[in-house]
Amino acid sequence: MTAFPELIAHQRDTEALSQVMGRLGWDQETVMPRGAAGQRADEMGALEGVLHARRTDPRIGEWLAKSEPADAEGARMLALIARSYQRSQCVPARLAAELARTTSLAQGTWAEARARGDVQHFLPTLRQVVKLKREQAEALCEGTDATTAYDALLEDYEPETRAADIAAIFDRMRPRLVALRNAVLGSGKIPDPLRGEFPQDSQLRLARKMAEAFGYDFTRGRLDLAVHPFSSGSGSDVRITTRVVETDPFNCLYSTIHEVGHACYEQGIAPQYALTPLGQGVSMGVHESQSRIYENQLGRSAPFTAWIFAQMQQEFGDFGVDSPEAFHAIVNRVQPGFIRTEADEVHYNLHVMMRFDLERQLIDGSLDVGDLEEAWNARFLQDFGVVVDKPAHGLLQDVHWSVGLFGYFPTYTLGNVYAGCLMQALRKAVPDLDAQLARGDLAPATGWLRENVQQHGGLMAPREVITRACGAAPTEGPLLDYLDAKFGAIYRL
């Protein structure tokens, strides 16, 4: 008799508890009272201890040995459970709980330091996070086939990918990105930024309209405010956040569209996969392909920005832009700004490449945490030609390192690469796409993505998902060609 049903029942409860832990994280970043940070850290540590015990339960090994899957879905579930079991066994329970507790506290410390502009307030906590992540990576290297500490951490976000492979992709991309950046900035055609005041309530109404247009199901989700926008959850409870700057409505609108891409991926997974190993996005690279194609190839396209322009006029009246064409140029304005999440498509991947290099140095020990701010500022000046003016525009802008997400950053650019391939395939599949976007009708585009990417959840390996959807293995070429064509047209290069 196969042990498969017992294994899946055990896994279902583990997945449910993991979702509960994710909900605690959502609460912490949105509505938790500031004074609750210490108690929340203890709660997160305790729950991680329970989850670690479940993930390393000796019965899992016995069930795996006795399980006979009935189909390909069952076989994939077994493979994913076995991978999780092996990795979880490598990490001591003490370390898993301490990481959860420390990163929960670190998140609050980071937010305080960011608000105060005080890097020194954050560095001792970051030093502890880095120490624990190095310890975790070393433990994983001993029990898996990872050959470097960074690769061991990267596996959590982009399975079957190595840092050397990513570095090679980045090295091929950088020259064309820099050449395009220099051509655009040297064109003399950079439009002025949007100016004026755009009230928070109006921005949030428009953000909800954008979310609905992209197919986000508010009966299974909600939109809230956070310091750093994020998406959380899967299945029937997928929540998104955004942020509002009253002088910059694009910050809110495009943060919302980006997070809707993540959320629609989770909401689009086949319902029968809920609370199984297949019930979440297969990797962060594939996840970012959805958020980035929603935000950029669709959301910043000329036909769709013309539709947004009309919505902005309805919400804000005359806001100082006289045509859809001028609005499209402003939305796609190229400027070497400080903030990654607000970066134009030309500069965005350069932000990611910088973080990828710095975090590898932190993990391998060649860069000390105490020297990180100086290294960040020097590299930013080198790459962007701008002096960082304050910590919130530099080291303290991203939440990722405070919560231990080392290995996450490169998946943003992998997502862009995947999105470039998907957009090429989408245009072939939906020939009248631009006409639909001009009407604000995103259903054909998002429906194609749901059918070809989202519904599969974790059923296939990351590159296999993209390869099947596109009919060819992913490469950086389609993304770079798209960027050259788009910005060449806008800036008449």
Q: Which residues are known to be catalytic?
A: 259
Q: How far apart are CA 270 and CA 250, in angstroms?
A: 32
Q: How far apart are CA 301 and CA 328, in angstroms?
A: 8
If phi > 0 it is left, if psi is from -120 to 50 it is alpha, else beta; for residue 320 that is left
**Per residue, what are the HEC states of 414-442?**
HHHHHHHHHHHHHHHHCCCHHHHHHCCCC
Q: How far apart are CA 118 and CA 402, in angstroms?
A: 14
Q: How many CB atoms lie within 10 A of CB 355?
A: 20
Q: How far apart are CA 325 and CA 113, in angstroms?
A: 41
Supply angle C-alpha 318, 323, 329, rounded to 5: 110
- Alpha carbon of 281 to those of 75, 262, 406, 453: distances in Å? 17, 9, 19, 9
Count, residues in the chain? 493
Instruction: Report the run of H or E that residue 467 belongs to, with start and end.
Output: helix 462-470
Tokens coding 448: 């194609």
Q: How far apart are CA 269 and CA 281, in angstroms?
A: 8
Q: How many CB atoms lie within 10 A of CB 176?
A: 16
- Side-chain-side CA neighbours of 221 within 13 Å: the count stands at 29
Packed helices 163-185 and 477-490: angle between N→C axes, nearest 10 degrees: 10
Q: How far apart are CA 374 and CA 369, in angstroms?
A: 10
Closest CA to 69 of 1, 2, 6: 2
Q: How many CB atoms lie within 10 A of CB 65?
A: 8
For the stretch 460-465, contacts whose Cβ atoms lie closer than 8 Å and that sit 24 or more positions apart, written own/partner, are 460/76, 460/282, 461/159, 461/160, 461/282, 462/158, 462/159, 462/160, 462/161, 462/282, 462/283, 462/285, 462/286, 463/160, 465/282, 465/286
Backbone φ and ψ of 225, nearest 5°:
-100, 145
